[in-house]
Amino acid sequence: MKEKIRIASGQGFWGDLIDAPYHQVTKGDIDYLVMDYLAEVTMSILQKQKNRNPEFGYARDIPALMERILPICKKKNIKIITNGGGVNPEGCANAVLKVAAELGLNDLKVAVVVGDNIKDDIDEIINSGAQLKNMETGEPISGIKDKILSANVYFGAFPIVEALERGADIVITGRTTDTGLTLAPMIYEFGWDKNNYDLMAAGTVAGHILECGGQASGGNFLGDWQSVDNLAEIGFPIAEAYPNGEVIITKHENTGGKVSFETVAEQLVYEIGDPKDYITPDCIADFTSIKLEEIGENRVKVFGVKGNPETEFYKVSASHSDGYSAFGTLTYTWPQALTKAKAAGEIFTKRLENLGLEFEEVRVEYIGYDACHGKLASQLDEDQINEITLRLGVRSKEAAPVERFGKELAPLILTGPPSVTGFAGGRPKASEVVAYWPALIPKKLVHPQVKILSLS
Amino acid sequence: MKIKLKDIAHGRSGDKGDAANVGIIAYDDNGWEVIKKYLTADRVKKHFEGICEGKVERFELPNIRALNFMLHNTLGGGGTVSLKYDAQGKTLAAALLRMEIEI
């Protein structure tokens, strides 16, 4: 058994720093590169892409990235784990194998984890008694069944563990929990027992810290953010894991950013609910048990983590079409920038009313004043305000009123308050609103499958 | 004595459906005692009047001197449906740090 393994976060979402994974495999030693590509919105986008072209439906940055890093990973024996397979892990694996062939890496073994995509099985699942009720509203899924764009089950670490046991160099999954990507190599390397829930929780917590990339190593840090050095060359976080479940969060030397008690603590509280009840397919982690200790420069030890047995359910994330929305902005300058923007907002909403357009919601916001903090925003002396951006948004079940909204914006420049600019992007277009449907499904109704693909 | 929450704590916020979570972390043990005592769910609910339309749940993480608040019915229908500029509640931790506490 290895004395320790180093697991590096290479991507916090699809669209994160393109070069981050390259730096992770080149600027120091690591054993695993884990990359989270999937936000909830990503699955529906990928499903739409696959509907247009059955070969698509995965994070299409991956083949180009592999071209850069595969030779290095092969040489340094770094394994890659990613959920960037989206709704087409096999398509992604085939694209990666094509790159491998071009690079002469003919013995590369790529594993895919599939079985998470239940979009075409909803009727069958409902017939077997699961209603897939919306966890927020309690409504059964049958009501939106015909509008479903994507539906995926979140699998945990164990399908990835199986892939590693079967010799995979790269594991490409569909919807796997972000935390499972990091927990899996620990289970595999250290032979952890799946019933040792403290260890499952320790790896899960490490995964939570890594899953948003630079957010654990000084990015988006609300503490003393100016104390973070060289964000331009931020080093993404690395989890140095030990067989006893202790993990040291760190980053490569000679990179920017910062790993401290504060930067790690901020990531721990990110997007959590009840901290005693952090539920994953692998365990329930108790975030109130986590101990953090700074043990060196850019080294924070995470230990003492307690866990409880997993539940009988997987989480499902379905998305469905739910109308249309559009947004537009105009910027008003001194003098009386805010008063002008407010007057423009009133003129605009009156015009929409006069047109008799039906919207679910019309929203008028003043960027530079109170768009983010509402009533908490400080009152400003108007003479001190240089410019205010008026932001208008509408949402409707129908596309037509939203399209018409887009046509009303530019005329405000010549028919509204003065000293206004910022209309260079053309008419705002109506875009489809994708709503989320979080639900639970009994684990016995779905089964992850692992397949190994290779060139030979 | 009035204390600015910004001077004794930091934090991070994000979205969970139509709810926002706001995690607030005290810089030291004294700060932790202050936020534990004064940063109640009711105070936070009142602070976010006009932003948080639902209930506020409060959880303690004494291990990292932190409180986690779940602000229900806050994001205008959730990340992708919302018309709000800050549809994911990313700036709400900073908004909570605006609070002044009389101790």
Question: Rounded mean pLDDT of chain A?
Answer: 96
> CB–CB of A265 and B66 under 8 A?
yes
Assigned domain for A132 exists: no
Over residues A143-160, the pLDDT tens digits come to: 999 999 999 999 999 999
**Could you give phi then psi for residue A283, rounded to 5 degrees?**
-175, 175
pLDDT at A235 (0 to 100): 98
Q: What's the complex ipTM?
A: 0.98
Q: How confident is the model at residue A96 (pLDDT cuts 50, 70, 90)?
A: very high
Helices (H), A245-336: 261-268
Percent composition of chain B: helix, strand, coil (DSSP 3-state, to 5): 30, 35, 40
Same domain, A251 and A345: no
Q: What is the CATH number of the domain that holds A373?
A: 3.30.70
Residues of chain B with pLDDT under 50: none
Among candidate residues A311, A344, A373, the one where a domain is terminated = A311
Same domain, A335 and A427: yes
Same domain, A211 and A296: yes
Same domain, A329 and A296: no
Same domain, A110 and A189: yes
Among candidate residues A279, A311, A343, the one where a domain is terminated = A311
Over residues A257-271, the pLDDT tens digits come to: 999 999 999 999 999
Question: Phi/psi zone of residue A138: left (φ > 0), alpha (ψ -120 to 50 degrees), beta?
Answer: left
Q: How far is B44 from chain A (nearest CA, A)?
A: 12
pLDDT at A334 (0 to 100): 97
Assigned domain for A125 exists: no
Domain spans of chain B? 2-102
Beta strands in A101-258, from DSSP E residues, in sequence order? 109-114, 148-153, 170-173, 238-241, 247-250
Same domain, A175 and A290: yes
Over residues A366-384, the pLDDT tens digits come to: 999 999 999 999 998 999 9
Pick the range with the lowest mean pLDDT from A38-47, A205-214, A441-450: A38-47
Classify residue A16 by burial, with Cβ atoms within 10 Å: 0-12, 13-18, 19+.
buried
Same domain, A216 and A102: yes
Assigned domain for A446 exists: no
Assigned domain for A395 exists: yes
- Calculate mean pLDDT across residues A305-318: 97
Same domain, A256 and A176: yes
Assigned domain for A22 exists: yes
Same domain, A278 and A333: no
Q: How far is A94 from chain B (nearest CA, A)?
A: 31
Among candidate residues A292, A311, A330, the one where a domain is terminated = A311
Assigned domain for A351 exists: yes
Q: How confident is the model at residue A48 (pLDDT cuts 50, 70, 90)?
A: confident
Q: Please tell me the distance from the alpha carbon of residue B61 to that of residue A267, in angstroms, as a whole number.
A: 13
Q: Does pLDDT of A186 surpass 90? A: yes
Over residues B64-86, the pLDDT tens digits come to: 999 999 999 999 998 789 999 99
Over residues A109-136, the pLDDT tens digits come to: 999 999 999 999 999 999 999 999 999 8
> CB–CB of B12 and A363 under 8 A?
no
CB-CB neighbors (< 8 A) of A433 in chain B? 80-81
**Could you give phi then psi for residue A181, rounded to 5 degrees?**
-60, -35
Structural domain tally of chain A? 2
* Residue A244 DSSP label: T
CB-CB neighbors (< 8 A) of A266 in chain B? 10-12, 23, 25
**Could you give phi then psi for residue B23, rounded to 5 degrees?**
-100, 130
CB-CB neighbors (< 8 A) of B24 in chain A? 269
Q: Among A326, A325, A323, A320, which residue's Cα sits nearest to residue A397?
A: A323
Same domain, A227 and A375: no
Over residues A68-93, the pLDDT tens digits come to: 999 999 999 999 999 999 999 999 99
Q: Please tell me the distance from the alpha carbon of residue A335 to that of residue A190, in angstroms, as a whole number.
A: 66
What is the extent of the structural domain holding A271? 5-116+154-311
Q: Please tell me the distance from the alpha carbon of residue A40 to that of residue A35, in angstroms, as a whole number.
A: 15
**Could you give phi then psi for residue A114, rounded to 5 degrees?**
-130, 180
Assigned domain for A441 exists: no
**Is A202:A278 a contact under the CB 8 Å cutoff?**
no
Over residues A436-446, the pLDDT tens digits come to: 999 999 999 99
Percentage of chain A beyond pLDDT 90 is 94
